[in-house]
Amino acid sequence: MSEIVFSGVGRMFRRDGREVPALDGIDLTVGEREFVAIVGPSGCGKTTCLRMVAGLEFPSQGEVKVGGAVVRAPGPDRAVVFQQFALFPWKTVAENIEFGLKSKGVANGARHETIARFVELMGLQGYENAFPHQLSGGMQQRVAIARAYALDPAVLLMDEPFGALDAQTRTVMQEELVRLARRNPRTVLFITHAVEEAVYLADRVVVMTRRPGRIREIIDVGSVRRSERWDRFERIEEVMDQASFVHLRTHIWKLLREQQQPNEH
Amino acid sequence: MLSLAGFASLFVAWQAIASSGLVPAPFLPAPLAVAQRFAELTQRPFVGYTIQQHLASSVLRYLLGFGLAAAIGVPLGLAMGWFRWLDEIVSPLFEAVRFVAPIAWVPFAALWFGTGVGGPTLVIFMGAFPPALVNAYRGARFVEPRYIEAAQTLGAGSWRVITQVLLPASVPSIVAGLRISAGLGWQSLVGAELIVASSGIGYLMVKGQSNISTATVMSGMIAIGAVGFAIDAMLRRAEAAIHARRGR
């Protein structure tokens, strides 16, 4: 049971002594093993949505449930991959991956097996004893994804995980994430402002309005992906060439354009 | 190189003034006389012990007092940085006590723990404790929230957050605090021994003074300075090693 349910979720922020709404009336269900991406203009509260599922922030109105229980605290059943990786700089690659396993009380032998498996899966062989600052951004994010996946979480929360990477690395990581998600499907909530990334990765794309963030439209990408058989293609650029892909992307772009401030043109 | 030049010019000026005859020898003993006296103190016991033995008993008290200050101050500071309630209980007490100079504890230190090891140890503790605690606390409070959040989402409880995140993230701040602690502790020790103690460098100096042997007092000062310098040099090296390991 790992369904994520937002019901009537609102979030207020204090700014200059006044209560400002950041999110308003969010109703959204992310089904078991569904991959949902949220896109929206910056400041629309999409990261706040993710943080409320993680238990790092709490709604002012409504409630967020995971697996039927209201979220009250962070926990290893909901692993988070942060934009700035948030790897522990004083721990090696292996120790970073090990951290959550130790917190969960996984026995020594099983821990090392799991570490070895994810090191291999994410192509980190030979870097087990390196410190994060010795790795490139792309490698660091692989470690962060390995650290999250190693916990075998029911829910995976990704907050612009590729936002800090260069375009090429980003493409590689997107393809790898698709491969990983096919092999180990999880309930995923994925925050991004990159429309193509959202369409490429997600089953459904949620488009949000600018502040106060509301849901503008939810686009079912999964049905198009299945009917157009995007899975035939290994590479992201082949998928992005499909008329069906372009159509969806343009549609979402238009929705986001509506949200732009007049002075942003 | 420049620091050596500084020492050399101080030494030359000292020798020049002493040998000019303007200042009587008991007021300012010449460097050579001090060196001679120092050598003598290493051979022959003065007020019961040789200078090495006095130094050893000072260092023992110091290690005890400083060790206790670090062993209590650092964990308490980290815990205060994590548990708001603990912070609210301890901080007012701590703020009230920290501005009492360590030397002011001498009468109670002597009364409660005697003039042997216990009394001076308490005085050192009082000198060394505040920076150890404050720097650990500040270090813990200013840890980047994303590391704490990452740990929590990876299932870490308070114990693991404190030991695996707050502690390592605060190491630079803690080590800087311990360097200050070490200096203040060493200064407090000598101050305490001037008043309460039956051995130690401070005690040697007091007895030197009452015997009007300024060369003895000066020997004590040199020993204090040398050991203080050595302690700081060791901690500086530890600090540099930690920074190097972290690749900064």
A131/B155 Cβ within 8 A: no
B82, containing H or E segment = helix B51-82
More confident site: A66 or B17: A66
State the Cα–Cα distance between residues A59 and A6, nearest whole angstrom.
10
A95, A88 contact by CB (below 8 A): yes
Which residue of chain A comes nearest to B149, CA vs CA?
A: A56
More confident site: B157 or A163: B157
State the Cα–Cα distance between residues A38 and A221, nearest whole angstrom.
12
ipTM value for the complex: 0.85
State the Cα–Cα distance between residues B166 and B162, nearest whole angstrom.
5
A230, A239 contact by CB (below 8 A): yes
pLDDT the model gives residue B166: 94
Average per-residue pLDDT in chain A? 87
State the Cα–Cα distance between residues B221 and B35, nearest whole angstrom.
12
pLDDT the model gives residue B246: 67
What token pair was written down for A248? 């969806």
> Minimal Cα–Cα distance from B149 to chain A, Å?
7
Chain A CB contacts of B164 below 8 Å: 88, 99
| Residue A265 pLDDT greater than 60, yes or no | no
Question: Which string of DSSP letters, residue by residue, matches A231-250?
Answer: GG-SSHHHHHHSHHHHHHHH
Chain A CB contacts of B168 below 8 Å: 88, 90-91
- Domains in chain B with CATH codes: 51-245 (1.10.3720.10)
The percent of residues above 70 in pLDDT, for chain A, comes to 98
pLDDT (tens digit, 0 to 9) for every residue of chain B, 248 residues total? 777 888 888 888 888 887 777 777 777 788 888 888 888 888 888 888 888 888 888 899 899 999 999 999 999 999 999 999 998 888 888 888 878 888 888 888 878 887 777 888 888 999 999 999 999 999 999 999 999 999 999 999 999 999 999 999 999 899 999 999 999 998 888 888 887 778 888 888 888 888 888 888 888 888 988 998 898 899 888 888 887 776 54
State the Cα–Cα distance between residues A161 and A191, nearest whole angstrom.
8
| Residue A201 pLDDT greater than 60, yes or no | yes
pLDDT the model gives residue A99: 93
By the 10 Å C-beta count (0-12 exposed, 13-18 middle, 19+ buried), A126 is classed as exposed
pLDDT the model gives residue A204: 93
For residue A224, the Cα-to-chain-centroid distance in whole angstroms is 21
Q: Say which residues have a Cβ less than 8 Å from residue B219's Cβ, sequence separation at least 6.
A: B34, B37, B38, B41, B51, B204, B208
Q: How many CB pairs under 8 A join A and B?
A: 67
**Rounded average pLDDT over A1-10:** 88
- Comparing A144-148, A199-203, A261-265, B166-170, the range with the smallest average pLDDT is A261-265
DSSP bridge pairs for A207: A39, A217
A90/B154 Cβ within 8 A: no
A1-22+32-77+157-265 maps to CATH 3.30.565.10? no
A102/B152 Cβ within 8 A: no
What token pair was written down for A263? 């002075």
> Minimal Cα–Cα distance from B230 to chain A, Å?
28
State the Cα–Cα distance between residues A259 and A246, nearest whole angstrom.
20
State the Cα–Cα distance between residues B28 and B18, nearest whole angstrom.
6
Residue window 74-133, chain A: list those with CB within 8 Å of chain B: 74-76, 78-80, 82, 84, 86-91, 99-100, 102-104, 131, 133
State the Cα–Cα distance between residues B213 and B101, nearest whole angstrom.
29
State the Cα–Cα distance between residues A190 and A211, nearest whole angstrom.
19
A104, B151 contact by CB (below 8 A): no
More confident site: B130 or A15: B130
B152/A99 Cβ within 8 A: no
Chain A CB contacts of B160 below 8 Å: 102-103
State the Cα–Cα distance between residues B234 and B224, nearest whole angstrom.
15
State the Cα–Cα distance between residues A159 and A192, nearest whole angstrom.
7
pLDDT the model gives residue A205: 93
Q: Say which residues have a Cβ less than 8 Å from residue A118's Cβ, sequence separation at least 6.
A: A97, A124, A146, A149, A150
Residue window 78-97, chain B: list those with CB within 8 Å of chain A: none
B160/A88 Cβ within 8 A: no
> Minimal Cα–Cα distance from A90 to chain B, Å?
7
B150/A88 Cβ within 8 A: yes
Torsion angles phi and psi, residue A154, rounded to 5: -70, -35
| Residue A18 pLDDT greater than 90, yes or no | no
How many CB atoms within 10 Å of residue A162? 25
What token pair was written down for A201? 């990765």
> Minimal Cα–Cα distance from A106 to chain B, Å?
12
Chain A CB contacts of B247 below 8 Å: 131, 133-134
| Residue A263 pLDDT greater than 60, yes or no | no
Question: Which string of DSSP letters, residue by residue, matches A80-136?
Answer: EE-TT----TTS-HHHHHHHHHHHHT--HHHHHHHHHHHHHHTT-TT-TT--GGGS-
> Minimal Cα–Cα distance from A168 to chain B, Å?
26
B150/A75 Cβ within 8 A: no
A229, containing H or E segment = none
For residue B13, the Cα-to-chain-centroid distance in whole angstroms is 29
**Rounded average pLDDT over A113-132:** 89
| Residue A42 pLDDT greater than 90, yes or no | no
How many CB atoms within 10 Å of residue B177? 26
Chain A within 8 Å of B151 (Cβ-Cβ)?
A: yes
**Rounded average pLDDT over A134-161:** 89
| Residue A78 pLDDT greater than 50, yes or no | yes
State the Cα–Cα distance between residues A66 and A77, nearest whole angstrom.
10
Ranges of each domain in chain A = 1-22+32-77+157-265, 84-152
Task: Of B204, B209, B208, give the one whose Cα is nearest residue B190.
Answer: B204
Query: Which amino acid is located at B69 in the chain?
Result: A
